[in-house]
Amino acid sequence: MKEWTSGLRDPGRVRGLAAEMAALDPGRPIRLMHVCGTHEHALCAAGIRDLLPEWLTLVAGPGCPVCVCPASEIDLAVRIAALPGVTLATFGDLVRVPARISLAQARTRGADVRVVYGVADAVALARSLPDRTVVFFAVGFETTACTTAAALRASPPDNFQVLSSHRLVPPALQALLDLPGETPDGFLLPGHVLTVTGTKAYEDLLSRRPIPMAVAGFEPLDILQAIRAILEQVRRGRAEVVNAYPRAVREQGNRAAREAIAEVFEAADAPWRGIGTIPGSGLRLRPAFRHRDAGEVFGLAPDPAVQDAPTGCRCGEVLLGRQEPEECPFFGNPCVPDDPMGPCMVAQEGTCAARYRHRRA
């Protein structure tokens, strides 16, 4: 593994490719957007933005699944966790995100909230706690949704349920393009998600609005190659989906994973933090799996009155790529990863956390 990653991190090749960008100057400012927390982390850790020409800006969009999960759905998880006989299992980052109260605060007040690394751990937990109902609070894009779907198809124990806050990436990109105001000049597509979905779903976006796109991997050279692929489209006036991550992404994606999602879930309108409700962007359990849907079983639904962020926190604008984290008056003081105010500073994949952890000297 080290051998091929070291080639993709080779400082000479990385600097060389970054320098080649200068020749692609279209003579106007270019603003590209990625929608992946892992991209933001990779960009910040390697300091890639420092290598890009001045006319090129690379902003982060809504790419962190924990960050885009609205407070109203975390609040629903808190209320379900508080029910007698319920154990709520979810990812560590999500436990710390503030809503009316966070899941961590709910745990302090007596709720049984467990941190798991994935759905398989939650199913194992259900097996080990046969007298309790184990609810897996599921967040994540297509990459995680397929694992939840696979677990539900594999006949988990009867006391296992799911609270789905899964989201789909293509409808979010469509919504970003439909928002009033300035739209990005191109999208850097999230390589991990595309391994599942394939490139086809993104080509459909082009029929509604032409915008240059390129699939990006996660090593410095991967990201720069994808940026170059977009800039070349801009220069030639083209709009297509270029696969700059062919060692992992196929046109058709992962068929088994897509089929699992389609069998277990159906698309539904869903709210995103900072953006609002996006048609067809959420995943709801199909009728055949309703008995696994914790919201249905307990007759509880999200309370739309629950606020998304404390007054003044700019997470919403940051998620839209309209403000840089550094422009938020709370960035670094008092909002830091150890004492976060909003989800973008809580989650490992959050834009604010990545920027803070690797801030420029």
Partner 1 sequence: MEREPIALGHGGGGRMTSDLIREVFLPALANPRLEALGDAARLDPVPGRLAMTTDAFVVSPQDFPGGDIGALAIFGTVNDLAVSGARPVAISAAFILEEGLARDDLERWVASMALAARRCSVEVVTGDTKVVPRGQGDRAYVVTTGLGAVQAGAPPGPEAIREGDEVLVSGPVGDHGAVIAALRNALDPGTLRSDCGPVWDLVEALLAAGATPRFLRDPTRGGLGTVLGEMAEASGLSVEVRDDALPVRPEVAGLCDLLGLDPIFLACEGRVVAVMPSEQAEEALRAWRRLPSGQEATRIGRVVQRAPAPIVRVTPYGGRRLCDVPAAEPLPRIC
DSSP state of 281: E
Q: Residue 42 or residue 162: which is nearer to partner 1 going by CB? A: 42
Q: Residue 9 Cβ, how far from partner 1 at the closest point, in Å? A: 7
Q: Residue 96 Cβ, how far from partner 1 at the closest point, in Å? A: 12
Q: Which residues contact partner 1 by CB under 8 A?
A: 1-2, 5, 9, 11, 14-15, 18, 44-48, 50-51, 220, 337-338, 348, 357-361
Q: Residue 79 or residue 192: which is nearer to partner 1 going by CB? A: 192
Cα-based distances in Å from 172 to 206, 249, 268, 291, 318: 14, 20, 13, 28, 15
Q: Residue 21 Cβ, how far from partner 1 at the closest point, in Å? A: 14
Q: Residue 107 or residue 358: which is nearer to partner 1 going by CB? A: 358
Q: Residue 332 Cβ, how far from partner 1 at the closest point, in Å? A: 9
Q: Residue 235 or residue 357: which is nearer to partner 1 going by CB? A: 357
Nearest to 61, CA basis, from 120, 141, 6: 141
Separation between Cα atoms, residue 36 and residue 333, nearest integer Å: 25
Please say whether the beta carbons of 278 and 166 come within 8 A.
Answer: no
Separation between Cα atoms, residue 272 and residue 264, nearest integer Å: 22
Q: Residue 189 or residue 224: which is nearer to partner 1 going by CB? A: 224
Separation between Cα atoms, residue 182 and residue 222, nearest integer Å: 27
Q: Residue 271 Cβ, how far from partner 1 at the closest point, in Å? A: 28
Please give the torsion angle defined by the CA atoms of residues 73, 75, 80 and 84, in that order, rounded to the nearest 10 degrees: 170
